[in-house]
Structure 1
Amino acid sequence: MTMSDTTTDVAYAPERPARLPWAQLAPDVYKAMIRLDAASRKGLEPKLYELVKIRASQINHCAFCLDMHTKDALAAGESVERIVQLGAWEESAHFYTPKELAAIELTEAVTVLTAGFVPDDVYDRAAAHFEEAELAQLIAAITVINAWNRFGVTCRMAPGHYQPGQHP
């Protein structure tokens, strides 16, 4: 949170510096990620896309991506309540459509891979709500945000500076 967003009489912890400006040092990879990200979002509802990005970023503890995608979700018209409840979506399923729930569940399965694979029942629930092409796009979007999260967490990208519509 920037000081302009808060009261001035509170002493916040200092912002941790980034470890590595990876996008500047690997510009071809960064540009490829931007293109991959743009390709992965095609055909997906903007609010659903942002919910997926937020949920994966919560799981991966990527503060930079959480900052970015919550701001983008709000700019796309998503409600604060649904964003706040996303971390406890199983307990607050009534905030989401069955299609969104299937996407969120698939996001968790692809992101965590605790069993070493995506369970058939999770995949089948997603497949029941998405046409095949849309499901492929959803899987791509989940995969891409996981890659972004790994860059963000590893390089310790600082949250709080992103404005909606900017690239990471």
Structure 2
Amino acid sequence: MTTTQQVKPASRINFAKAAPKAFRALIGFDAAARDGLDPALVELIQIRSSQLNHCAYCLHMHTNDARKAGESEDRLHMTQVWHEAPHFFTEKERAALALTEAVTLIADGGVPDEVYAQAAAHFEEQELAQVLALIFTINTWNRLALATGKVAGTDER
């Protein structure tokens, strides 16, 4: 085989069909996590986690969902570099993005107390729990998409 030949990816399971109870439970957890949260914040969290996890499938889906919900192109482009673009995001959104990074990259040192405290300063306890649940679900969706070979730009959801 030459280096210009492409290797066809191995066929992967359809998780929704192979483990329907687990898939439905994840859908239920995702729906419960979103309950009461600002839809724009939901998409920002999902976009940032998907960027960090290198999940093109979820990133494509959530940037499109954010656009459909009215999110600006500027903010979508700046999500990757939100630390350097403070005027694009509210303090509350910045706290959520910092928490998203800490939880998504938890193996890099856990969730620092200052990151958690900043999030707790901007979210009531119940809302903070919802944000954490959302971060947990998008990380699970990212891992599911990557492990099962989901391809960005397909109609498969």
Q: TM-score, length-normalised on structure 2?
A: 0.90
Where does residue 41 of structure 1 map in the other structure? 34
Unaligned runs of 5+ in 1: 1-12
**Letter matched to residue 93 of structure 1:** P
Say which of 112, 118, 135 aligns to 1:142. 135
Where does residue 5 of structure 1 map in the other structure? none
**Letter matched to residue 153 of structure 1:** L
Identical amino acids, percent of aligned pairs: 50
Q: 1:127-166 counterparts in 2 under 5 A? A: 127-162=120-155
C-alpha displacement of 1:115? 4.0
**Letter matched to residue 102 of structure 1:** A
Structure 1 residue runs of 4+, over 6 Å off? none
Count how many residue pairs are aligned between Structure 1 and Structure 2: 152
Give the secondary-structure state (helix, strand or coil) at the position aligned to 1:61.
coil
Judging changes above 3 Å, is the alpha-carbon distance between structure 1 residues 61 and 18 closer, same or farther for their aligned structure 2 residues?
farther
- Please report the RMSD computed on the Cα atoms of aligned residues, expressed in angstroms: 1.9
> CA separation in 1, counterparts of 2:96 and 2:30?
17
> CA separation in 2, counterparts of 1:35 and 1:15?
34
Checking the alignment, whether the CA contact within 8 Å between 1:62 and 1:153 is kept in structure 2 is: yes
Checking the alignment, whether the CA contact within 8 Å between 1:53 and 1:69 is kept in structure 2 is: yes
Residue 122 in structure 1 maps to residue 104 in structure 2: no
**Letter matched to residue 20 of structure 1:** I
**Letter matched to residue 63 of structure 2:** T
Give the secondary-structure state (helix, strand or coil) at the position aligned to 1:24.
helix
Residue 56 in structure 1 maps to residue 52 in structure 2: no
Q: 1:24-103 counterparts in 2 under 5 A? A: 24-103=17-96
C-alpha displacement of 1:20? 2.3
> CA separation in 2, counterparts of 1:46 and 1:137?
12
> CA separation in 2, counterparts of 1:17 and 1:80?
35
Unaligned runs of 5+ in 2: 1-5
> CA separation in 2, counterparts of 1:18 and 1:103?
36
